[in-house]
Amino acid sequence: MKFFTKDRTPRGKILAYCVLVLHGAIALFVPILHLTPTDEQDATTMLQGISVDHWLGTDGLGRDVFSRVLHGGRPSLVIALVATAIAAMIGVLLGSFAALAGGWIDEALSRLIDFLLAVPTLILLLLIASFFGQDPVILSLTLGLMYAPPIARVSRASTQILLARDFVRVARLQGGNGLTILVSEILPNIWQVVFNEIAMQFTWIILAFSSLSFLGLGVTPPTPEWGLMIAEARSYMTINPVSVIAPICMLASLVLAVQALVDHE
């Protein structure tokens, strides 16, 4: 029996949608659930294993791992969604404008995009986070700017292909300006390719932000965040490995679900 057929939606895609819906539902509704407070410490239950009271055990400060794992996706998703929106807006506008303008403007913007793509992203993020601190606004803007170039490159290439099509030439002959052609002719025809790239950059932004938190430059303790939880629990993972495995599984499931949807498009 085939995993998917021509006439039906791939099962992997359905599973990916379910995982994303689950992550979204958890992020939205976890504050109203009556869970153990994420910063509640209990010295008598430190590094406790799975139990009825603590479904995923406790960490080195006696905090409930299950509650912290469910809350841990909120900062990552908020930062990643804002940063992805910034990256998408900058990338699409920059890439499309470069292709429409052509000439030396296209050449200059293309070299700028190539330069930004060559910059070591994580190193630059570490420098900016070290200099400006852990302000969520600064982190969102920085991540958005750093991950806009790949979107700009895809947007520019897609726009250049469409510029040779007859319907775009007709729109120009009818007196349409660059903005009109971009909105009415270009964007409706490149949105799927660009959206796939935006979705991929969303996963990289999630991983980058979790990496910053893992290194102590993302969220500030005791805020629960998957990368920070992994960093805090790695020193005692032999005692309660679930405290490390749980945030890793949550982070991996979110990233893999998005990538699975992109691959099936």
Q: At what angle do helices 121-132 and 187-214 cross, to 10 degrees?
A: 60
248's enclosing H/E stretch is: helix 242-264
Contacts of 218 (CB under 8 A, 6+ apart): 75, 129, 134, 139, 209, 210, 211, 212, 225, 227, 228
Per-position DSSP letters for 107-165, written without gaps between them: HHHHHHHHHHHHS-HHHHHHHHHHHH-S-HHHHHHHHHHHTHHHHHHHHHHHHHHHHTS
pLDDT at res. 176: 65
pLDDT at res. 5: 40
Q: What would the pLDDT profile of 195-237 be if each residue is shown by its tens digit? A: 999 999 999 999 999 999 998 888 888 889 999 999 998 888 8
**Residue type at 145 in one-letter notation:** L
Q: pTM for this structure?
A: 0.88
C-alpha to C-alpha distance for 52 and 37, rounded to whole angstroms? 16
Residue in 40, 49, 45, 150 with CA at minimum distance from that of residue 95: 150
**Residue type at 32 in one-letter notation:** I
- What are the structural domain ranges in the chain? 76-224
Q: Which CATH class is domain 76-224?
A: mainly alpha
C-alpha to C-alpha distance for 135 and 231, rounded to whole angstroms? 20
> Do the Cβ atoms of 58 and 240 come closer than 8 Å?
yes
C-alpha to C-alpha distance for 156 and 186, rounded to whole angstroms? 11
Give, for all 265 residues of the chain, the pLDDT tens digit.
Answer: 343 344 455 777 889 999 999 999 999 999 888 888 888 888 888 888 888 888 898 888 889 999 999 999 999 999 999 999 999 999 999 999 898 888 888 899 889 888 888 888 888 888 888 788 778 888 999 999 999 999 999 999 998 888 877 777 777 777 666 677 777 778 888 888 899 999 999 999 999 999 999 988 888 888 899 999 999 988 888 888 899 999 999 999 999 999 988 876 6
With a pLDDT cut of 90, the percent of the chain lying above it is 41
Token pair listed for 13:
């895609």
> Do the Cβ atoms of 156 and 110 come closer than 8 Å?
yes
